[in-house]
Amino acid sequence: MADERAEDRRETRAQRLARFQPASGMATPRFSGLASFMRLPMLAPAEAAGAGRAEIGLIGIPFDGTTTGRPGARLGPRAVREASTGTRALNHATGVAPYALAACADLGDVPVNPVDAAETDRRIEAFYRPLAQAGIVPLTVGGDHFVTYPVLRALGAARPLGLIHIDAHSDTDDAQYDGSRLTHGTPFRRAVEAGVLDPRRCIQIGLRGSMDAADERDWALAQGMRLLAMEEVCARGLPEVAAEARAVAGDGPTYLSFDIDALDPAFAPGTGTPEIGGFTTREALHLLRGLRSLDLVGADVVEVAPSLDPAGITALAGAGIAFEILCLLAEGVAARQPAA
């Protein structure tokens, strides 16, 4: 009887995976039809959570109402969806075929309020909580970096998470512009204060550029967060940096956040706060590939502002990085499946 139940589970999972394959470019042109993330099927969040059909949900949060530099990241999810239609099914470098490992679907966009950060904060958390309770692993495309905070509240409600944060900026300010505490420069400070991040399991990689005040860095260090400036990354090399990130995150549940301004503006000009001296796209891919086998419970790619990049290379970079992260998440989902 136990063997029969195991066989039923395998068949059900195999059928689920078959339903969630992206549309093939060999069957229909990649420039045709409505754009979804990676050309995946669209699924309503309630259906995904209620029926347990999807294992990884790709979600857009088109909000940039807390941007303090150049706006435009609200258009990021739409642009990354369009750019991602050129993505194929197999990672040539790692051999990972994410859609053979996990049932993935585009769950649409969070219904944000574009002029009310507090209301959007509540809506994001409400959107993600049932997904987290259903065990769906979210891969989010923002939106400015503020959106990560309510996502972390939903995913870290049961236990604090570790964090691998790849960014030019620490985003641990206390407040900006007349005491505003919900901005794209404060999400990780708020998350630590809310108890949904364990700062001793947080590492920030690629920090560079000028700062408004030392408090942003000093507060993070005082909490036990590991900060890796770009200068240290260059001196040590990507394999060593990836190894330290894995050591800091440890075996516990971990969130991965990639701000597109981690890339040098030569490779990602379409972002609100560009900083020279960043990663190349090739370096970013190599860094991400060094993070395999972590217990990743969610991830995001944020701050793509397509209106600031008429050539579309920033959205293309965002789509490529999202696919690389999707491969990491799919491996994690497969590893958590019960043995047959």
Considering only residues 5 and 99, tell me which one the structure prediction assigns the higher pLDDT: 99
78: containing domain: 40-336
Q: Indicate which CATH number applies to the domain containing 102.
A: 3.40.800.10
pLDDT in tens, 293-333: 999 999 999 999 999 999 999 999 999 999 999 999 999 99
Pick from 263, 49, 78: nearest CA to 136: 49
Does a structural domain hold residue 216? yes
How many folded domains does the chain comprise?
Answer: 1
Residue 27 domain flag: no
* 265 close to 274: Cβ distance less than 8 angstroms: yes
Domain membership of residue 226 (yes or no) is: yes
22 part of a folded domain: no
In a domain, 11, yes or no: no
pLDDT in tens, 171-230: 998 877 666 788 888 999 999 999 999 999 999 999 999 888 778 889 999 999 999 999
Note the pTM of the prediction, 2 decimals: 0.92
Please report whether residue 196 resides in a domain: yes
Question: Does the residue 244 lie in any domain?
Answer: yes
Q: What is the DSSP string of 71-89?
A: --GGGHHHHHHHHHTT--S
Q: How far apart are CA 328 and CA 333, in angstroms?
A: 9
For helices 313-335 and 76-84, what crossing angle results, to 10°? 80
pLDDT per residue as tens digits for the range 106-142: 999 999 999 999 999 999 999 999 999 999 999 999 9
Beta strands across the sheet bearing 197-207: 104-109, 56-61, 137-142, 296-302, 254-259, 161-166, 197-207, 226-229
In a domain, 4, yes or no: no
- Residue 6 reports pLDDT greater than 50: no
What is the overall mean pLDDT for the chain? Answer: 92
